Chains A and B, each alone.
Chain A
Amino acid sequence: MLFPTTSPPPTPPRVVITGAGIVTALGRGWKPNAEGFRSGRTAFRPVSLFDVSRQRARSAAEVDLPATLPSTRLGAKQLARFDRAASTLLLATHEAWQQSGWEPAENLPFVLGTTAGGMSFGEAYFRQAAQSPLRHRHQPTRAVYYQPQVQARMILEALGANGPVTIVSNACASGSNAIGHAWELIRHGQAERALTGGYDALTELVFSGFDALQALTTTVCRPFDAGRDGLALGEGAAVMALETLESARRRDAPILGELIGYGTSIDRHHLTQPHPQGDTTLKVMQQACATAGVAPDDVDYINAHGTGTILNDSSEAAAISHWAGTRAATLPVSSTKANIGHLLGAAGAVEAVISLMTLREQWLPPETMFETPDPACHFPIVQKPRDAHVRVVLSNSFGFGGVNASLILRRWA
């Protein structure tokens, strides 16, 4: 029952990660992404998915999809209903599923964050409805399959699993909120395991929207750089298999890392602008630390939201500096949006998997195009590839509408 629920355990169980899948413009899967982020490679190129000839910005980080999707329980007819977004989600989920070693199951929660779901179908629906109003072919299919909950159901179907689907859409914090929500379901005894993550694909409407706001860089995406001039868009997906430590040990499953903290709140300052001093950012970082039982001194790296816009980065820099106090001077920070762009609803999930990579492989992802720090940055930006002793990572995500979220992950050793 969703209510009343069983009484939560007196002590929340530890939640570990036993599977992780990632798809970005750097590649499909853990290995190419780890290599790319470790070396600081960037993945931007001219947009090929739609016409950007009349936009200010012309590039983004597009994913190269494979000619065929992984073999699952879905047939060709069902796979034909996958757009780019659903395809990236399937790839990431399949990788996480394989790695977790989970068997098909009933009642497996699937918690996803997205801002757009299958918007490419929505755009196609609109174009046909507006330009060929008497033509109805494909419209019923588009009207159903653009909906993210339908895409999520299809993914579960592909794995032979079934369970409650929850779609969180808190703009660019969606992925982190989804993971945080799944973590809470497990901690409160409502599930022993959950699949969770985020996904979004590049679409014309969203690209045009950020371009209209003049939020897109026309040069290079350089988060926290004094000379930054905007964000770059990307696309992709990341999914994690979360379960209780007890469940993982019972299965003798390899553990990739531990999710130990989550904080979320809402910044009421403005629909698209954060509070200048990052009040809510500070609050969610403190919340996440409180739930994790760690202090700033315990955190070895921050994967910042760091979009590359003037307002976001100065606000986040102020909040991190305030939160970290004296620790700030030696606390490495970077934003991997410098490599793969802003993945919107997928960003928080992708960045959580990148954080997991740093914990597993003991390196820090550099911003190789970074030049001059913003004056609000009282912390060092990782600029060059380097190995590091990483035990605890904090990952920030903030969205249009003001929802902020922080996740804290710990190395499993």
Chain B
Amino acid sequence: MNRIFIAGMGAVSPAGWTVGALREALDRNEPLPTQTLERPGWNKPLPVRRVPNPTVRPEFLTHPRLRRTSPITHYVVAAALEATGGLRANHDPGFRLGLVVCLQSGCVNYSCRFYEETLKDPTTASPLLFPETVYAAPASHLAAVLGNISLANSLVGDPATFLQGVSLGAQWLEEDRVDACLVIGAEETNWILADALWHLERPAVLTAGAGALCLCRKPEWSTGVELAAITDAHTYSSQKNRTQAACAMRAQLGMPASCRPVVSQPNEEIAGRMPVLPELLCDGVGNGPRTDKAELEAWRDWTGPRLSPKRILGEGLMAATAWQCVAACDAVAGGRFVAANVSLVGSNQQAIGARFVRSNSDISHLSGGGPPGNIRP
């Protein structure tokens, strides 16, 4: 078996346009302020958490392929550039980068605009909008910006699909089809999506953005974090409801019921010079009682440190599960945990879990901070 390392992370969230901004928001442990989104035909607007405008206009927006793109593509590109920052500086011309973009709602802004125009008068519906409605558009634009993508897939599913994307990237690396692989989860906000969320889980606050992990096989490219495990995809069915699937996922991760001092990958060097630290649980619990129920049940007896990014950031669908993975890896990279477990209990498809552990690579170059302050022991 080849080992898979995390070469970089990227995040665009309502906290800002970097992993650092995400970390700071989680560290403050306070739900980010909400804004309102006008819902046509309703007196009362819907609450959302928007991605703030960047303080400086990102240089990548000058790329000709990004001229007419919607926000989701901007988020994808920004997260990807951050996650591949280290690699882009030193790779050779033959470098092969894989790309897996995971989406649940995808390019909903232009889809709504184009369909609205179609309903009004199809003869004037903009041909510029339609190509941007396809799920594959962000991956295509990113491939054009980076220039070295050799293999790409866009996966659609419920938010747990992000870990299917990570497993696909790991598979491509193991087969030596790529030298590194970006896995990105992304979404954008729109009134129709906020409306749908209102119908399905009223207390949830819609948000948007992207999270990216860059996977590699070379330890020297690692941020000090290694992918240790991804469980099976526990698909919901009439025989296996969400709670049962979540419990099966949790059981397969084989984790301790509480904060157990474990170094998951035996590593004498690390064990010898560092204090033994607990494992982190990074879960997907937010503010939706109905949605959270299965996951809370599965982790009922977990007494170790726990990080719940959705409580701070909101419901970002595929972006939210990507942030969970980014936050988990960042917490391990920062050196305060030997391992972080990620629990993804999707809305209507599957439950999948993963474990990221500290690797024995040199992590001295990292600028990542410690664990966010809202990690609850």
Report which A residues bind B (CB closer than 8 A): 1-5, 7, 54-55, 107, 114-115, 117, 122-123, 125-127, 129-130, 133-134, 136, 139-140, 143-144, 147-150, 153, 156-157, 162-171, 177, 181, 184, 188, 204-205, 208-214, 264-266, 268, 271-272, 399-403
Q: Can you name 12 A-B pairs with beta carbons within 8 Å?
A: A117-B156, A122-B111, A130-B41, A133-B42, A162-B240, A208-B125, A209-B114, A212-B125, A266-B99, A268-B140, A400-B134, A400-B136
What is the 8 Å Cβ interface bit string for chain B, positions 157-171, against chain A (1 contact, 0 not)? 110010110110011
Chain A residues with CB under 8 Å of B354's CB are: 3
Chain A residues with CB under 8 Å of B230's CB are: 1-3
Which of B143-151, B280-288, B328-336 contacts the other chain? B143-151
Contact of B232 among A2, A129, A139, A271 (CB under 8 A): A2
Contact yes or no, A205 B114, CB < 8 A: yes
6 pairs of A and B residues whose beta carbons are closest in the complex: A133-B41, A401-B136, A209-B130, A401-B140, A2-B167, A164-B233
Which of B13-21, B26-34, B192-200, B358-366 contacts the other chain? B192-200
Instruction: Name the residue among B39, B65, B153 with the largest chain A CB count within 10 angstroms.
Output: B153
Contact yes or no, A268 B231, CB < 8 A: no
Contact yes or no, B196 A143, CB < 8 A: yes
Closest to B39 in A: A133
Instruction: Give the complex CA separation of A4 and B167 in angstroms.
Output: 9
Contact of B196 among A125, A167, A271 (CB under 8 A): A125
Closest to B116 in A: A130
Contact of A171 among B111, B134, B166 (CB under 8 A): B134
Is B131 among interface residues, defined by CB-CB distance under 8 A? yes
Is B58 among interface residues, defined by CB-CB distance under 8 A? no
Closest to B237 in A: A162
Shortest distance between the CB of A112 and any CB in chain B (Å): 10
Shortest distance between the CB of A295 and any CB in chain B (Å): 22
Chain A residues with CB under 8 Å of B122's CB are: 54-55, 208, 211-212
Contact of A169 among B155, B166, B196 (CB under 8 A): B155
Contact yes or no, B143 A3, CB < 8 A: no
Contact yes or no, A115 B134, CB < 8 A: yes
Instruction: Give the complex CA separation of A405 and B163 in angstroms.
Output: 24
Contact yes or no, A2 B134, CB < 8 A: no
> A165 and B156 in contact (CB under 8 A), knowing A130-B116, A213-B130?
no
Chain A residues with CB under 8 Å of B195's CB are: 129, 139
Instruction: Give the complex CA separation of A399 and B350 in angstroms.
Output: 28
Contact of B158 among A54, A147, A204, A400 (CB under 8 A): A147
> A168 and B154 in contact (CB under 8 A), knowing A7-B1, A133-B41?
yes
Contact of A3 among B115, B175, B227 (CB under 8 A): B227
Contact yes or no, B136 A169, CB < 8 A: yes
Contact yes or no, A208 B118, CB < 8 A: yes
> A271 and B131 in contact (CB under 8 A), knowing A209-B114, A266-B143?
yes
Chain B residues with CB under 8 Å of A139's CB are: 195-196, 199
Contact yes or no, A134 B229, CB < 8 A: no
Instruction: Give the complex CA separation of A177 and B137 in angstroms.
Output: 16
Instruction: Give the complex CA separation of A149 and B229 in angstroms.
Output: 24
Contact of A153 among B114, B118, B125, B237 (CB under 8 A): B237
Instruction: Give the complex CA separation of A169 and B105 in angstroms.
Output: 12
Shortest distance between the CB of A387 and any CB in chain B (Å): 38
What is the 8 Å Cβ interface bit string for chain B, positions 95-107, against chain A (1 contact, 0 not)? 0000100011000
Chain B residues with CB under 8 Å of A181's CB are: 153
Instruction: Name the residue among A149, A156, A271 with the largest chain B CB count within 10 angstroms.
Output: A149
Instruction: Give the complex CA separation of A156 and B368 in angstroms.
Output: 44
Contact of A134 among B41, B157, B158, B232 (CB under 8 A): B41
Contact yes or no, A169 B135, CB < 8 A: yes
Instruction: Name the residue among B41, B118, B137 with the largest chain A CB count within 10 angstroms.
Output: B118
Instruction: Give the complex CA separation of A210 and B126 in angstroms.
Output: 11
Shortest distance between the CB of B81 and any CB in chain A (Å): 16
Chain B residues with CB under 8 Å of A402's CB are: 140, 143, 152
Given contacts A2-B352, A133-B41, A403-B139, 14 further A-B contacts (CB under 8 A): A2-B167, A3-B166, A115-B134, A125-B196, A127-B119, A153-B349, A166-B155, A167-B157, A169-B154, A170-B136, A208-B114, A208-B118, A400-B134, A401-B154
